[in-house]
A = this chain, B = another copy of it.
Amino acid sequence: MTFGALSDRTRRVLACLVKDYIDSGEPVASATLSRRPGLGVSSATIRNVLAQLEDMGYVSQPHTSAGRVPTDRGYRYYVDTLLETRRASRDISTVEARLREQAGEAPLFDQLLSSASHVLFEVSHHVGFAIAPSDMHAIFQRIEFVPLSASRVLVVMVARGNHVSQKVIELNEEIAPSALTQAANYLNAEFAGLSLDEVRQAVLARLEEQRTLYDELRAVALTLARTTLEGLESPTAVFIDGASSLADDAEDANGVSMSTLRTLLRMVEEKQRLVRLLDAYLDGPGVAVVIGAEHPDPQLHACSLVVATYRDGARRGAVGVIGPTRMHYSRAISVVDGAAVAVARFLRDQN
């Protein structure tokens, strides 16, 4: 329970044990550790150290006559030292190259994030994900109305960063194609460069004015804009790839049981759950790691999550991976960090 009271040797033993366990997946014996170069002491000495570590809750035994396994707290200690020392060495080059290859030169925003999740999966062999920033802070660039039928219009809205969204609007009354063109021209001239949130506010304000001073064209344009912006923000775009890796995780039963697998597959379907789960970790910059029981959701106690935020102007999104607690953290951290940087660069280059 005493904190930070780990001697240098104790720390080295813990680090060695965690590394060994991550590589082998088997409980690590004192004899195994004593054979490792770096700590030149006998297995008996290591046993003492391990007993100490066990008292402090860093490691545990699956059963009396077995080796030691890191606890969540053990992983936490290991990861924290990693995060300190690793800061500099991000894995950008590989990730960025693969992202460019996957997404192409000028990807749509959605394609970029989808590619990012795919690359994260391929490189880490864990479930990769990418979350878009809230749409409401995107910068409005252009809107187009495509007449589908007399009373039905397809709206295409483009925001900065090749961010396209569409919506079909059902009108109460018929509207001429030329009126639609004029409406689009008006809105483009008026609002380009504002955030969608600002646009929404401006539109509502003008609709208020409009009640008194009467202008057919503007009324139509503003009404269309309001309808378009309605309900735009609710579902945050989420891209997930690599669910098949979960089968591997469950197969060599890394504590990833069938029920955990099901939970994760559900999450892949209802992506919004992931957004809610991540909400708490999206403040700080850099990489955050959530290990096992640190998750609020008990179903995920067998999983760890590595997540980094990226910036797109004033907006903030996230990329990351999800895997078993027995995860190759050092690799995952540098890959996720690299992906966040690569995505941000891509977006910067586009604008």
Binding site for B on A (CB under 8 A): 105-108, 141-142, 144, 146, 148, 152, 154, 156, 158, 162, 164, 166-170, 241-244, 246-248, 250-251, 258, 261-262, 265-266, 268-269
A79 to chain B, nearest CB (A): 28
Other contacts beyond A105-B170, A251-B258: 17, CB < 8 A:
A106-B168, A106-B169, A108-B167, A144-B144, A146-B156, A148-B158, A154-B158, A156-B156, A156-B164, A162-B168, A164-B166, A243-B243, A243-B265, A244-B262, A247-B258, A247-B261, A247-B262
> Can you name the residue of chain B whose Cβ is closest to the Cβ of A145?
B144
B166 touches A148 (CB 8 A): no
- Residues of chain B within 8 A of A152, CB atoms compared: 106
Which of these, B107, B248, B262, contacts A168 with CB under 8 Å? B107
Task: Give Cα A169–Cα B243 distance, bound, in whole angstroms.
Answer: 32
Which of these, B106, B107, B170, B265, contacts A244 with CB under 8 Å? B265
Task: Give Cα A73–Cα B169 distance, bound, in whole angstroms.
Answer: 50
- Residues of chain B within 8 A of A156, CB atoms compared: 144, 146, 156, 164
- Residues of chain B within 8 A of A168, CB atoms compared: 106-108, 162
A266 touches B244 (CB 8 A): yes
Task: Give Cα A41–Cα B162 distance, bound, in whole angstroms.
Answer: 72
- Residues of chain B within 8 A of A169, CB atoms compared: 106
B170 touches A158 (CB 8 A): no
- Residues of chain B within 8 A of A261, CB atoms compared: 247
- Residues of chain B within 8 A of A106, CB atoms compared: 152, 168-170
Which of these, B154, B162, B244, contacts A154 with CB under 8 Å? B162
A263 to chain B, nearest CB (A): 9
- Residues of chain B within 8 A of A265, CB atoms compared: 243-244, 246-247
Task: Give Cα A162–Cα B107 distance, bound, in whole angstroms.
Answer: 22
> Can you name the residue of chain B whose Cβ is closest to the Cβ of A105?
B170
Task: Give Cα A170–Cα B156 distance, bound, in whole angstroms.
Answer: 20
Task: Give Cα A141–Cα B147 distance, bound, in whole angstroms.
Answer: 10
A243 touches B258 (CB 8 A): no
Task: Give Cα A142–Cα B158 distance, bound, in whole angstroms.
Answer: 17
- Residues of chain B within 8 A of A269, CB atoms compared: 241-244
Task: Give Cα A144–Cα B8 distance, bound, in whole angstroms.
Answer: 66
- Residues of chain B within 8 A of A108, CB atoms compared: 166-168
**Interface CB pairs A-B, < 8 A, 21:** A105-B170, A106-B168, A106-B169, A106-B170, A141-B148, A142-B146, A144-B144, A148-B158, A148-B162, A154-B158, A154-B162, A156-B164, A162-B168, A241-B269, A242-B269, A243-B265, A243-B269, A244-B265, A244-B269, A246-B265, A247-B261
A151 to chain B, nearest CB (A): 10
A158 to chain B, nearest CB (A): 5
- Residues of chain B within 8 A of A144, CB atoms compared: 144, 146, 156
Task: Give Cα A31–Cα B257 distance, bound, in whole angstroms.
Answer: 37
Task: Give Cα A142–Cα B148 distance, bound, in whole angstroms.
Answer: 9
Task: Give Cα A169–Cα B104 distance, bound, in whole angstroms.
Answer: 11
